[in-house]
Amino acid sequence: MLKLAKYLKPFAGLIIAAVILLFVQAMSDLALPDYMSNIVNKGVQQGGIVNAVPEAIRESQMERVNIFMNQEDKSEIMKNYTLIDKSSQEYNKYVKDYPILEKENVYILNSLDKSEIEKMDVPMGKALLAVTGIEQMKASAKNGVIDFNGMKIPANTDLFALLQKLPSEQIEKMSENMNKQFEVLGEKMIIQAAAPVVKAEYAALGMNTDKIQSNYIINAGLLMLLISLLSAACTVLVGFLAARTAAGVSRNLRKNVFTKVQNFSNTEFDKFSTASLITRTTNDITQIQMLVVIMIRMVIYAPIMGVGGVIRAINKSVSMSWIIAVAVVVLLGLILTVFTVAMPKFKIIQKLIDKLNLVTRENLSGMMVIRAFNTQSFEENRFDKANLDLTRTNLFVNRVMVTMMPIMMLIMNGVTLLIVWVGAHQIAESSMQVGDMMAFMQYAMQIIFSFLMLSMMFIMIPRASVSAQRIAEVLETEPTIVDPKQPRSLGNNAKGIIEFNNVSFKYPGAEEDVLKDINFKAMPGQTTAFIGSTGSGKTTLINLIPRFYDVTGGKILIDGIDVKEVTQHELRSKVGYIPQKGSLFSGTIESNLKYADENATAEEIKKSAEIAQAMEFISEKPEGFEAEISQGGSNVSGGQKQRLSIARALVKKPEIYIFDDSFSALDFKTDGLLRKALREQTGQSTVLIVAQRISTIMNAEQIIVLDEGRIVGKGTHRELMENCETYQEIALSQLSKEELA
């Protein structure tokens, strides 16, 4: 995978933008459970009362509250409140909000920041709860007697007036006892417990407490909606950026693989099968594309959600954090098991896809042969085997993968039940709020889903890494045939003199040479023909001229310059190559002929077709040169395909023509007419012909006879008939002595 990381560099900006958006999305998603917790705790349970510091409090109530505060807290709180009475300038402003102001003075909270209010929350909450406790004590009097701190006091006694008369030491002792009770609750529970007291105070002030609650819930809900919309927008934008990045990476990979393959010599093509190269360019790169999308989408998002979820969950309840730890351990065990089982199968799957592509390609390209030999059943069984092998492996991997989801759901449901069970006990003990338990549950789910996303990454990365390795193999394969660092030029006036000097060649990995000590010279204006038994090395020999292979010994010279000293582009621009098996491309007849020279005129195309004896069937088509050619030329016959291939080479007008058994599919009449027309057209060019028919090469100025990779005869037809036994055997096997004379 790291070998292909450089392909992400052009998209660094998009990736950085996606990371920023993912961070925003993760923060938004992590904030939602907090807001939900606040709605339950503060909106529903606390009636919209956010803290224990009332925004307004009656003077009489403030006096009671002050009884239960130490001097430091009392001075801190009192400096943050302003007393409003009928003589105050702001009386008319506040009397509308607090109708009780008409009867009683009211303390109004000054404008303070959040941190200042938080400092006051606990002492104010404790004092309010203490006041409420005294009031409840009075309300629960039995038989007209209050049991106050072990003392029996008449029920009609003003307990607060009594407390104010007590010595400060006794009040401090009472406050210490209450603080010990409050410490069990914790700060959050003190504020929650004080909220109904504050709400009751607001009601006493004449405020609409229902409106306070509904406003808090609506505002919090609207804020949650905005955060959800922000998260959704980030999700869409990240998806767009990830898709754009992945598509760009795959496009560049396909381009580079295709470019690399175009520079391969036959040696490299012998290493990689066509089916494998197709799979690597399509299926393997698609795997990389999918991985890039998921990596950008999940690799950043999942850790932020996981770590952020753990931190926020612990903030909600440290005592329940062990539940998350247990869930994470179980998840890691599950992921490791799946990873261990599925990993070895991914490499097998890609090889099986190669095999299936190979079988399919062979069946489609060889359909006529299959039908001719009635081997449809055999090929069907062969395809079924390849298909079933791939299916079985895919099914095995998928069966392993599908077990993850039900197990994940089981873990999530188990974690949910455990949180509810443990959380319910803590709520009953007043050590946890309902909203916090619900938020903890959501954070636990987010953490589990984060691990699920990472587990999907761990499963996809091995499969994609197999694909990446296969792609890297192609990209890292250096062609054995390369251009020289300081090339020489054949020039625009190249003559096309070809000379083989002690040329030898053997295929990579072979022990023996296929060609040995080949020496000959081919001159312009002459035809040099090659003949020999099957496997004698004819096609291999002519493939050395355009450097489809490089010689392993000796030199090939064109106009006295070694072909290795010339760039491949310039060398091949001087050669018109007609392969043994004619290859046409999907398009029209005209587009196939213009493949040699896109600037060729209509007259040049027509003349080349006439010389190649192709006008006979082209003129029969209603569309003429605009007639469609199917992929691989499957809608034309073998002879027509060869004639179009010859016409295409003629359009190029090269200095050297190479005909690799290009007349084998032609009848004798067409063969004769074509050779005659060719001689007139290629009069100044060097012509090399590989042929099986003696009649095709009888008039060649030079005939070279090959046998087992060696030249066993060289000369004209007449000379070879006199002194080359191998040539005589080939000639007499095809024609009578009279025809050969």
Pairing of strands 686-690, 656-660: parallel
- Least Cα distance to 592 among 575, 569, 614 occurs for 614
Q: Which residue has the tokens 């004092």?
A: 127
Do 512 and 420 sit in the same domain of this protein? no
pLDDT interval class at 156 (50, 70, 90):
low
- Based on the fold, state whether residues 318 and 384 are members of the same structural domain: yes
* pLDDT of res. 229: 95
- CB 553, CB 534: distance < 8 Å: no
Same domain, yes or no: 445 and 296 = yes
Given a cut of 90, whether residue 369 has pLDDT beyond it is no
Q: Which of the residue ranges 155-169, 457-471, 717-731 would you say has the lowest mean pLDDT?
A: 155-169
Tokens representing 14? 């998009």
- Residue 24 confidence class, pLDDT cut points 50, 70, 90: very high
Q: How far apart (Å, rounded) are the C-alpha atoms in residues 659 and 647? A: 12
* 272 or 292: which leads in pLDDT: 292
CA distance 100 to 53: 19
Of the candidates 152, 171, 139, the residue with the CA atom closest to the CA atom of residue 68 = 171
- Which tops the pLDDT comparison, 33 or 267? 33
| Residue 517, domain CATH | 3.40.50.300
Radius of gyration in angstroms for the set of CA atoms belonging to the chain, rounded to a whole number? 46
Question: Coil, strand, or helix at residue 298?
Answer: helix
Could you tell me if 657 and 687 are in contact, meaning their C-beta atoms sit under 8 angstroms apart? yes
Residue 585 lies inside a defined structural domain of this protein: no
For residue 584, list its beta bridge partners. Answer: none
Domain match, 461 and 508 both: no
Residue 371: burial class (beta carbons within 10 Å; 0-12, 13-18, 19+)? exposed
Regarding whether 194 and 100 lie in a shared domain, the answer is yes
Average pLDDT of the chain? 83
Would the pLDDT of 65 be above 60? Answer: yes
- Is 376 found in the same domain as 316? yes
pLDDT at residue number 183: 62
pLDDT of residue 1 exceeding 60? no
- Say whether pLDDT at 243 is over 60: yes
Does residue 383 lie within any of the structural domains?
yes
pLDDT higher than 90, residue 230: yes
Closest CA to 194 of 52, 62, 50: 52
Domain boundary among 476, 507, 536: 476
Q: How many CB atoms lie within 10 A of CB 119?
A: 16
Are 114 and 189 part of one and the same domain? yes
Q: For residue 254, is it within any domain?
A: no
- Residue 477's closest CA among 273, 281, 257? 257
| DSSP 8-state assignment for residue 488 | B
Provide the pLDDT for residue 694. 84
State whether 407 and 524 are in the same domain. no
Whether 60 shows a pLDDT value over 80: the answer reads yes
Q: Across residues 371-387, what is the average pLDDT? A: 85
Give 95: exposed, middle or buried? Use CB within 10 Å, 0-12, 13-18, 19+: middle
Q: pLDDT value at position 141?
A: 62
Lowest-pLDDT range, 55-59, 464-468, 723-727? Answer: 464-468
Looking at residue 21, its pLDDT comes to 93
The pLDDT of residue 142: 64
Looking at residue 566, the DSSP 8-state letter turns out to be B
Poorest-pLDDT segment among 189-193, 385-389, 651-655: 189-193
User: Token digits for 264?
Assistant: 């391969």
Mean predicted confidence (pLDDT) in 175-183:
63
Provide the pLDDT for residue 170: 66
Residue 121 has a CB neighbour count (10 Å cut-off) of 18
Contacts of 565 (CB under 8 A, 6+ apart): 484, 487, 488
148 and 296 in a single domain? The answer is no
Residue 80 counted as domain residue: yes
Q: Identify the pLDDT of residue 161.
A: 67
Q: How far is CA 413 from CA 307, 386, 421, 434, 728, in A?
A: 21, 42, 12, 19, 89
Sheet containing 553-558: give its strands across.
515-522, 498-505, 553-558, 561-562
At residue 555, does pLDDT exceed 70?
yes
User: DSSP string covering 633-658, please?
Assistant: GTTS-HHHHHHHHHHHHHHH--SEEE
Quick check: is 680 in a domain? no
CB 559 within 8 A of CB 490: yes
Range 673-702 average pLDDT:
82
pLDDT at 144 over 70: no
Record the tokens describing residue 356, joined without a space. Answer: 């299936």
- Decide if 443 is inside a domain: yes
Is 173 found in the same domain as 287? Answer: no
Q: Which residues contact 555 (CB under 8 A, 6 or more apart)?
A: 500, 501, 502, 503, 562, 564
Place of tokens 């069990």: 184
Helix (H) or strand (E) holding 425: helix 404-428
Provide the pLDDT for residue 159. Answer: 64
The answer to which of 165-169, 329-333, 556-560, 596-600 has the lowest mean pLDDT is 165-169
Q: What is the mean pLDDT of residues 348-372?
A: 80
Domain that holds residue 69: 51-204
Q: What is the CATH number of the domain that holds 430?
A: 1.20.1560.10
Identify which of 183, 224, 221 has the alpha carbon closest to the alpha carbon of residue 44: 221
- How does pLDDT run across 566-592, given as a tens digit for each residue? 998 888 888 888 887 778 888 888 888
Q: What mean pLDDT is predicted for residues 419-433?
A: 81
Among 174, 137, 172, CA closest to 158: 137
Contacts of 419 (CB under 8 A, 6+ apart): 320, 323, 437, 440, 441, 444
Picking from 27-41, 454-468, 498-512, which range would have the lowest pLDDT averaged per residue?
454-468
- Taking a C-beta distance cutoff of 8 angstroms, is the pair 653, 678 a contact? no
Question: Where is average pLDDT lowest: 401-415, 512-526, 718-732?
Answer: 401-415
Q: What is the pTM of this model?
A: 0.71
* Domain assignment of residue 141, yes or no: yes
The model's pLDDT over 318-337, given as tens digits with 9 standing for 90+, comes to 778 888 888 888 887 887 78
Whether 617 maps to a domain, the answer reads no
Would you state the pLDDT for residue 521?
A: 92
Residues 431 and 533 in one domain: no
pLDDT at 172 over 70: no
C-alpha 606: how far from chain center: 50
Q: Give the residue with greater pLDDT, 429 vs 90.
A: 90
Exposed, middle or buried, 234 (CB in 10 Å: 0-12/13-18/19+)? Answer: buried
Name the domain count of the chain.
3
Task: Tell me what pLDDT residue 242 has.
Answer: 92
551 and 465 assigned to the same domain: no
The DSSP H or E segment spanning 726 is helix 725-732
Of the pLDDT bands very low, low, confident and very high (cuts 50, 70, 90), residue 476 is confident
Please report the DSSP string for 122-156 in residue order.
HHHHHHHHHHHHHHHHHHT-BTTEEEETTEEEETT
Q: Looking at mean pLDDT, say which of 326-335, 506-515, 549-558, 613-622 comes out highest.
A: 549-558
Q: What is the pLDDT of residue 501?
A: 93
Under the banding of pLDDT at 50, 70 and 90, the label for residue 231 is very high
